[in-house]
Structure 1
């Protein structure tokens, strides 16, 4: 899904290295009071939101709160030029492109059309389903709609799983 950063850089699209340098750091951290972890965390969340919008189509997994707190302790005692360098190095080491499991989408995309036709045919003989008059909907509309719903369901399952993984307590 998408081109690697190196191919995009050759086409003139900014990559991870270009985005994390200078302007983004200055915009979110340089002139901001980030002495406490709470203030730093708010600035970091805004930075991540901006970072994900600068590179359309890309999502990045960020470090968990414990790792971020440990970094903040080191970062808070450094001077301003050192902070910027530390932050850029930290981002390059700890922020990675989000991995998406495409197998769920592929299975939903392959199974949904056949399941839609089977459901439509079996719905003609089941009285509870027959009252919805699904047999009146043409296959050219019914199958793509069912496939779209299946893919949306796969997306929801994946988002739910990722949300549960992110909410696990760290030790």
Structure 2
């Protein structure tokens, strides 16, 4: 029995038996591309469940369809070759997602100073004066603003990633 030689920098993933993955998700379930696609999505969902906190960039629908038509379909009854080709394909296309940490660092560095400036200017600007920011102690206000900035940076990253996937 072979093992998935995929290593995403995490222990344990290389110990997933290829035969078990193939039998569970793909054997006798992939007569059409739509079935293959559903099996692949289920495999990726379970992969992300097994490795919480990890995010993987998977191939686009066109890449998956190309693999199915050119590699998978011609190997109709040869399950051993399908296992080998599937593992090869996974190694080539499924990669650990990369995140640009510079946005988080910038938000984390700029937010505390911005919070203090906001609080001080809030005392003289009529629109901000009604929020009574002067009543909040800096010990609470600064971390809340920093957390909000980091959450905003995360949302921005997710939005950019979603646009890349759908384009």
Match of 2:59 among 60, 63, 67: 63
Of 6, 27, 32, which residue of structure 1 is paired with 2:24?
A: 27
The structural deviation recorded for 1:20 is 6.6
Between the aligned partners of 1:77 and 1:48, the Cα distance in structure 2 is 23
Aligned partner of 1:14 in structure 2 is 12
CA contact (8 A) 1:60 1:96 kept: yes
Matched with 2:97 is 98
Q: TM-score, normalised by structure 2?
A: 0.88
2 CA distance for matches of 1:106 and 1:125?
Answer: 30
Residue 28 of structure 1 deviates from its aligned partner by 1.2
2:121 alignment partner in structure 1:
122
Residue 77 (structure 1) shift:
2.4
1:43 is matched with which residue?
39
Q: What corresponds to 2:3 in structure 1?
A: none
Counterpart residue number, 1:112: 111
Two-structure CA RMSD over aligned residues (Å): 1.4
**Count of aligned pairs between the two proteins:** 157
Deviation sequence 1:22-65 (CA, Å, 0-9, x none): 32222211242x12111111111111111111122221111111
Structure 1 residues 142-153: aligned runs within 5 Å: 142-153=141-152
Structure 1 segments unaligned to the other structure (5+ residues) = none
Q: State the 4+ residue runs in structure 1 displaced beyond 6 angstroms.
A: none
